[in-house]
Structure 1
Amino acid sequence: MFLLSVFLLSLSTTSTTAMVFPRACVPQAHYPGTCCPSYMGSPCGSALNRGSCVPSKSSRAEPPPDITMDDRIPGFYFNVSCTCRGNFAGPDCGECKPGLEGDNCDRRSNHTRREVRRMNETERTLFLVQLQFCKELIDPNYVILRSGNRFRTGSLEFIDASYYDVWIFAMYYMSKPFVNNTRETNAVTFGAGGTGFLSTIRASVMHFERQMRRCLKDPSFTMYFYDWRDDNDCAMCRNDFFGASNDEGFLTSGCVFSTWRMCCADFDFDETYCLMSDCICERPLINRKAGEDPSIDKPYRADVDYCLSLRTIDAPPYNTLSTNCFRNCLEGNIGRTGTDGIYLNLLWHQYCGGTMSIPSIAPNDPLFILQATFLDRIFQAYIERWGITPASYPPTTMYGHRAYDCITPYYECWLNRDMFTSSINLGYGYDNF
């Protein structure tokens, strides 16, 4: 218990940029500006001693000198923000650090993520209804960014989005390549191709659960995962789960997700953010073609077992070229049959096809969050097998993926290394693997 308390106190909550944008803080006449929303009548809950509004500390490691025009670097939007005290977190210090809950954030969280097929019919119906509800309900606290030219602050536009679409935007925003001297480079993104992939997956599921809990006003909501290791096909691609597809790849009308319109999927040019129609009815539908390409087979149990057997968590050069290491194996750049081709996670996305096969828009398919949760389940199994701790974080020098870099695009500063711990310390566990 003492060690858990020490870990929770070590989690950083200093907010120095906003990647998921608080509605109370945008737009502003000039950037960077101030973001100190009111909580219970005072900025940052200061009257309740939850936090204070101060110039942002440089807790987010500074980028290399050539990455100067990317709007996701420290302090681009806000250089004065809430610094939360003790167990409190969030843009206004009105939330709790990971692993804690309750009005005073003094109670340990203890949620269990289960395999999706272990739901009974009532639970499954409720789960699908909850996803549908939060796909439609507008988030009153956060907005998303749309821009015709990400190099010009005058083109920034902040627009409404549902709770679910705010999460989708966060994944999309993270996936955009770095801007290097006014040009994008696909060599580096915040969430893939490096050690930070493991931390990003974990944080993304935690963010999804937080969005759902806020939407449903239900602090007990807990995500499920889909364990496909022993399946011969996509068992979730049925109308009683996540939808069967017609001949064109669109979800059939018997599926609750067949009417879902995608966020940030209309256009994807280098210099833009989330260009899409103002009318939701004109946005693209989800497309999926699981198993239709006979040249692509899904991954299996042996592929997962191989990744778990790799004692080295990540290896130089700490990118897509790393060999004999768990991170690059889980990500899918190497596998049990070699280093040529795609494996595990990347292979699953290609096997599902359609929306799932396009990284920037894949989170629009509800299969994505199931997959992300399963990847975190595998990561947790690896942590338990090899005794991984924050001190195990590899010495990568890749910006955005370093141990003390904050995980983009989340408002709070969750350090990459903080995710290298048992999920119990973060407030959740898993049923049998």
Structure 2
Amino acid sequence: MKALGLLIVLARCFCSCDAQFPRVCTRDDLLASKECCPIPDGFPEPCGGPGRGHCADTPDLNVEDPAWKNINAYKVDDRRHWPTVFFNRTCECEGNFSGYDCSKCKWGYRGENCDTKQEPAERKNIKGLGLKKIKQFRDYFDKAKNTNSDYVYAMEFKDNIRGSEDFGNVSVYDLFVAAHYYASRATMPPSITGICDDGKDCYLDFAHEGVSFPTWHRAFLLEFERAIQEANNDPDWTLPYWDWGAAKDNQCDICTNEYVGRNDENRKLDEDFVFGKWKIICAIATKLPWEKATARNHTKPCNVTRHMGTLRRSPGTQDPNNLGESMSHLPLPTEVDFALRFSEYDTPPYTRKSNCSFRNLLEGYADTETGMTRDTE
């Protein structure tokens, strides 16, 4: 069963935050000192100085879950105490300033001094943009895909990082691909966790299969939109949406070269289309046995410098043989209406096994006729 949530265009189509660090903070001496307090351009002091920001101890706001306290994989997972496992002193911005060096403005503000209130932006349907705006959309994405981010990506566990050589360059676009991958890849078998009661793998997932699914992805998309704006020097640009509920024949009617590129029966994009030339990263989780796949029994960040083929896409055609006929099309209005009837946002055990949970229907793990989980194995 497919997810029923609002699909901001391309978030699903491309299937892409946690292992990224400002490039200026990955010098060997700063990694050793665990301090990331850069001096922004045009300012004499770290974090900009009084009125803008200052270097401060970074609070660890993560709360330990007693159920996981004896699990080896959890105890050594870098995300468990983020970002203090790498840096315990970072910039604390003042007023309306933000960013790793306090050189940016908080959400809702702009201007040199971040004192101008920003007007709400209008998000538009991609089907109504017109040819010029659609081309701009593609051009903006392509520039972000081919522009190096001022962040680099840790390609090793913290305990295994030797120095700056273990951080890889990544594009503005691919930074978000890797962040999404790292937030949702932490598989732990029951032999390690000891708390799974179904004989299957347990998951430590910060973005999926739990109560944070819509909140995490909304923040993710807002940060992604800002990154596209910055890469193209256009702070007023907004990420369009795609109303899949109105899609012709309940199939991907923007999967054409007029919009985001057509794909063949093997899900491969047209190689003459701009997105068809893109190389992908972080595409496949390892198939190796658990003990061989990780050095310390936790998920290793992907190698962002390793390209793994070209884009593939198959919305509405996932796996009807295993998961039912509803996988052969995008969500029907009747399925959306069914999900909206549920007053309970989430239910125990707050995973993909939750029954009568709006969140689990939204995420795609519950049957859209009964509300019961499909994960019965």
Superposition TM-score, scaled by structure 2 size: 0.76
1:297 aligns with 2:328: yes
CA RMSD in angstroms comes to 2.9
Question: Which of 191, 201, 206 matches 2:222?
Answer: 206
1:327 aligns with 2:355: no
Q: Tell me by how many angstroms 1:160 deviates.
A: 1.0
User: 8 Å contact 2:170–2:305 — kept in the other structure?
Assistant: no
User: 8 Å contact 2:19–2:301 — kept in the other structure?
Assistant: no
Q: CA 1:328/1:101 → structure 2, altered by over 3 Å: closer, same or farther?
A: farther
**Correspondence for 1:38:** 39
Tell me the alpha carbon deviations over residues 217-252 of structure 1, each in whole angstroms, 9 at most, x when there is no partner.
111121111111132211111111111123433111
Q: CA 1:128/1:88 → structure 2, altered by over 3 Å: closer, same or farther?
A: same
Q: CA 1:108/1:173 → structure 2, altered by over 3 Å: closer, same or farther?
A: same
Tell me the alpha carbon deviations over residues 27-81 of structure 1, each in whole angstroms, 9 at most, x when there is no partner.
435557001111232211114x111101112334346534321111321000111
User: 8 Å contact 2:188–2:202 — kept in the other structure?
Assistant: no
Question: Which of 54, 58, 61 matches 2:60?
Answer: 58
**Correspondence for 1:250:** 268
Task: Supply the distance in 2 between the matched residues of 1:123 and 1:90 (Cα, whole angstroms).
Answer: 29
1:284 aligns with 2:313: no
Task: Supply the distance in 2 between the matched residues of 1:217 and 1:183 (Cα, whole angstroms).
Answer: 48
Task: Supply the distance in 2 between the matched residues of 1:182 and 1:71 (Cα, whole angstroms).
Answer: 21
User: 8 Å contact 1:267–1:275 — kept in the other structure?
Assistant: no
Q: Tell me by how many angstroms 1:307 deviates.
A: 2.0
Tell me the alpha carbon deviations over residues 365-386 of structure 1, each in whole angstroms, 9 at most, x when there is no partner.
xxxxxxxxxxxxxxxxxxxxxx
Task: Supply the distance in 2 between the matched residues of 1:199 and 1:247 (Cα, whole angstroms).
Answer: 34
Q: Tell me by how many angstroms 1:186 deviates.
A: 3.9
* Superposition map of 1:23-422 within 5 A: 23-28=23-28, 30=31, 33-39=34-40, 40-41=42-43, 42-47=45-50, 49-62=51-64, 64=66, 65-66=69-70, 67-74=74-81, 75-106=84-115, 107-139=117-149, 141-147=150-156, 152-154=160-162, 157-177=166-186, 186-231=202-247, 232=249, 233-265=251-283, 268=286, 270-271=293-294, 272-275=300-303, 283-290=308-315, 295=321, 296-298=327-329, 299-338=331-370, 339-341=372-374
Task: Supply the distance in 2 between the matched residues of 1:97 and 1:261 (Cα, whole angstroms).
Answer: 33
User: 8 Å contact 1:243–1:257 — kept in the other structure?
Assistant: yes
SS in 1 for 2:79: coil
Tell me the alpha carbon deviations over residues 136-184 of structure 1, each in whole angstroms, 9 at most, x when there is no partner.
1112x2112223x665233871111111111111111111217799969
Which of the pair has more CA radius of gyration? Answer: 2
Task: Supply the distance in 1 between the matched residues of 2:56 and 2:246 (Cα, whole angstroms).
Answer: 52
SS in 1 for 2:246: coil
Query: Letter of the aligned partner of 1:310 in structure 2?
Result: F
Task: Supply the distance in 2 between the matched residues of 1:277 and 1:187 (Cα, whole angstroms).
Answer: 26
Task: Supply the distance in 1 between the matched residues of 2:269 and 2:301 (Cα, whole angstroms).
Answer: 27
Comparing 188-197 and 93-102, the one that deviates more: 93-102
Q: Tell me by how many angstroms 1:316 deviates.
A: 2.4
Query: Letter of the aligned partner of 2:97 in structure 1?
Result: F
User: 8 Å contact 2:86–2:158 — kept in the other structure?
Assistant: no
Q: Tell me by how many angstroms 1:108 deviates.
A: 3.2
Task: Supply the distance in 2 between the matched residues of 1:294 and 1:186 (Cα, whole angstroms).
Answer: 25
SS in 1 for 2:328: coil
Query: Letter of the aligned partner of 2:328 in structure 1?
Result: D
Q: Tell me by how many angstroms 1:290 deviates.
A: 4.6
Give the % identical residues. Answer: 28
Q: CA 1:181/1:317 → structure 2, altered by over 3 Å: closer, same or farther?
A: closer
Q: Tell me by how many angstroms 1:253 deviates.
A: 3.0
Task: Supply the distance in 2 between the matched residues of 1:183 and 1:150 (Cα, whole angstroms).
Answer: 21
Task: Supply the distance in 2 between the matched residues of 1:179 and 1:81 (Cα, whole angstroms).
Answer: 31
User: Unaligned stretches of 5+ in structure 2?
Assistant: 1-16, 194-200, 295-299, 322-326
* Equivalenced residues, count: 320
